[in-house]
Amino acid sequence: MYKKKDDVSELVKALSNGEQRHFHHLYNIANKGERTANFWVLYESIRSGKSQLPNLEMDARAQTSGKRLLYENLLKSLRSLHDNASIDISIQNLLTNVELLYNHGLANQAKLMLHKAYTLALKYEKFGLHIQVLDWEKRLNIVLTQNTRTIEVLMEEERAVLEKMMQMKNLENIYSHILSLKRQYGYARGAVKNILDRETIHSSLMPEPAACLSKKAVYYYNLILAVYYWMTFEHDLAFQHSKQLTRTNECNVLPNDYISGLLQHITSSVCVIRFDEAIVTIEQCGQYISDNKLNQSLSFTHLMLTYHSIYKMIVYNYMGNLIKLREIVTETERLLQVHQQSLPFTNRQVILANLMNSYLGLNEMDKCENAWDQLFNKQSKTIRLDIYGDLYLFRLFLLLQDQNFSVFHSAAHSAFKFFKKHFDESHQFELELSLSNTLKKDLNLEKPKVLNITLLEIKSMLLKYIAKLKAPYGFQEHYTRYVIWADALMENKPYATIAQRWYGNVKK
Beta-carbon count within 10 A of 350 CB: 17
Instruction: List for the chain the helix, strand, coil content (%; round to 5).
Output: 75, 0, 25
Would you say the C-alpha torsion 227, 229, 233, 239 has a positive or negative sign? negative
In the 8-state DSSP scheme, what is residue 296?
A: G
Element (H, E) at 476: none
Q: Provide the strand spans (E) within 332-463.
A: none
Note the pLDDT of residue 218: 93
Reference 305, options 259, 260, 261, 336; nearest CA is: 336
Note the pLDDT of residue 83: 66
Q: Any long-range contacts for 14-17 (C-beta under 8 Å, 24+ apart)?
A: 15/74
Amino acid at 418: F
Element (H, E) at 303: helix 298-319
CB 420 within 8 A of CB 433: yes
| Three-state SS letters, 9-35 | HHHHHHCCHHHHHHHHHHHHHHHCCCC
Burial 354-392 (b: 16+ CB within 10 A, else e): bbbbbbbbbeeeebbbebbeebeeeeeeebbbbbbbbbb
What is each CA distance from 117 to 76, 121, 138, in whole angstroms?
21, 6, 14
Question: CB neighbours of 150 closer than 8 A, spacing ≥ 6?
Answer: none
121-145 per-position pLDDT tens digit: 999 899 999 999 999 999 999 999 8
Reference 361, options 422, 318, 404, 412; nearest CA is: 318
In the 8-state DSSP scheme, what is residue 126?
A: -
Note the pLDDT of residue 249: 67
Note the pLDDT of residue 201: 92
Note the pLDDT of residue 1: 41
Phi-psi region of 55 (alpha: psi -120 to 50; beta: other; left: phi over 0): left
20-77 per-position pLDDT tens digit: 887 887 777 656 656 777 788 888 888 877 655 544 556 677 778 888 888 888 888 7
Distance CA 418, CA 252 (A): 46
Beta-carbon count within 10 A of 125 CB: 22
The upper half-sphere exposure of residue 343, i.e. CA atoms within 13 Å in the direction of its Cβ, equals 20
pTM of the entire predicted model? 0.67
Note the pLDDT of residue 50: 64
Distance CA 79, CA 89 (A): 9
Amino acid at 112: L
What is each CA distance from 401 to 304, 329, 376, in whole angstroms?
33, 22, 19
Note the pLDDT of residue 2: 47
Would you say the C-alpha torsion 36, 41, 43, 44 has a positive or negative sign? positive
Query: Which 3 state secondary structure label does DSSP give 427?
Result: coil
Task: Going from the first residue of the chain to its last (508 residues), give the mean pLDDT of each consecutive group of 10, the final group possibly shorter.
Answer: 66 82 74 70 79 56 80 79 74 92 92 94 92 96 92 96 95 93 83 91 93 93 95 91 84 81 92 92 86 74 83 95 96 88 84 95 96 80 75 95 92 93 81 94 90 95 90 86 97 96 90
What is each CA distance from 502 to 135, 317, 471, in whole angstroms?
63, 11, 16
Note the pLDDT of residue 473: 82
Q: Counting beta carbons within 10 angstroms of the beta carbon of residue 142, is it exposed (0 to 12), middle (13 to 18) or buried (19 or more)?
A: exposed
Question: CB neighbours of 417 closer than 8 A, spacing ≥ 6?
Answer: none
Give me the DSSP letters along 171-231.
Answer: HHHHHHHHHHHHHHHSS--THHHHHHHHHTTTSTT---GGG--SHHHHHHHHHHHHHHHHH
Distance CA 399, CA 38 (A): 74
Compute φ and ψ for 211, nearest 5 degrees: -90, 0
Note the pLDDT of residue 256: 81
Compute φ and ψ for 33, nearest 5 degrees: -80, -170
Distance CA 345, CA 428 (A): 23
Distance CA 224, CA 204 (A): 14
Note the pLDDT of residue 290: 81
Burial 27-57 (b: 16+ CB within 10 A, else e): beebeeeeeebbbbbbbbbbeeeeeebeeee
